[in-house]
Copies of this chain bind each other. A is one copy, B any other.
Amino acid sequence: MPTNLSPESPIGVFDSGIGGLTVAASLRRLLPNESILYIGDTARVPYGGKSRETVERYSIEIGNMLLRGGAKMVVVACNTASALGVPRMKEVFGVPVLGVVDPGAQAAVDSTKNKTIGVIGTRATIASGAYEKAIHALEPSATIHSAPCPLLVPLIEEGLIEDSVTDQMLARYLDPLLSKGIDTLVLGCTHYPLLKNAIARIVGPAVSLVDSAENCARAVGLLLTDSGLSSSQKDSGQLEVALTDSAEGFLRTAAKALELPISKISLQSTRA
């Protein structure tokens, strides 16, 4: 456990795979002074269909790897790990831990006018009820309609971003939510912002999309300021990516789509 947290240490970002680079990209844009150490658990990806116990264990393991890498805080960019792993991480780790669920819930409450909110995510995220709990804590009178969308991650990872098959699956997943009159839709999985255009086409302009990556980055900025941990090295932030298994293909795709320069890529084992 680190005892001397330094503002010049990197922000640790943890994801089950590569999808959390959407959060890293938002952090780089919003906080250009900050360096990022990103670990993607590609050896055990995806988390979205796994049990709470397993996701919790993996979250602690990857969090410890970030702390050994000198992270001054841990950002859990994966919605599944945020929903299932963050409570235990907050108990165990001696640095601030922030998931994507609370910032996403706050943004949804800020956005909705009719207090009818849709949430989409992996099977594990939706089953956890984490967004419902977080939204109801902020706005008890909100009505929430949620839907697991288990095929979206594989479709995105295969690069079917603008594709008729993806559009058909989106319509199946989203039509039942639209029929309930939602005016806000939380994209409760870090991969989903890559489908923002396709989703917007299906839900139409009357439904606001809440992108957890963007809101999480804003919350990280506030937390760093509040805790005196903001870096003062102007625009000198770097992004270092470590993966637990090689996943070069999708890493290149995502980095290109996000226009995200990566200064170093390495392979790390979870057997430490």
Given contacts A151-B158, A154-B154, A165-B168, contact A50 B54 (CB under 8 A): no
Across the interface, do A165 and B154 meet the contact criterion of CB distance under 8 Å? Answer: no
A195 at the interface (CB under 8 A from B): no
**Which one, B49, B50, B245, contacts A50 given CB within 8 A?**
B245
Range of interface residues on chain A? Answer: 20 to 34
Q: Considering the complex, give the chain B residue whose CB is closest to the CB of A55.
A: B245
Q: Considering the complex, give the chain B residue whose CB is closest to the CB of A248.
A: B51
A42 at the interface (CB under 8 A from B): yes
A26 at the interface (CB under 8 A from B): no
Which residues of A, 222-257, contact B by the 8 Å Cβ criterion?
A: 245-247
Q: How far is the CB of A198 from chain B (nearest CB, A)?
A: 15
Q: In the assembled complex, which residues on chain B have CB atoms less than 8 Å from the CB atom of A50?
A: 42-43, 245
Across the interface, do B158 and A51 meet the contact criterion of CB distance under 8 Å? Answer: no
Q: In the assembled complex, which residues on chain B have CB atoms less than 8 Å from the CB atom of A44?
A: 43-44
Q: Considering the complex, give the chain B residue whose CB is closest to the CB of A58.
A: B43
**Which one, B53, B54, B158, contacts A150 given CB within 8 A?**
B158
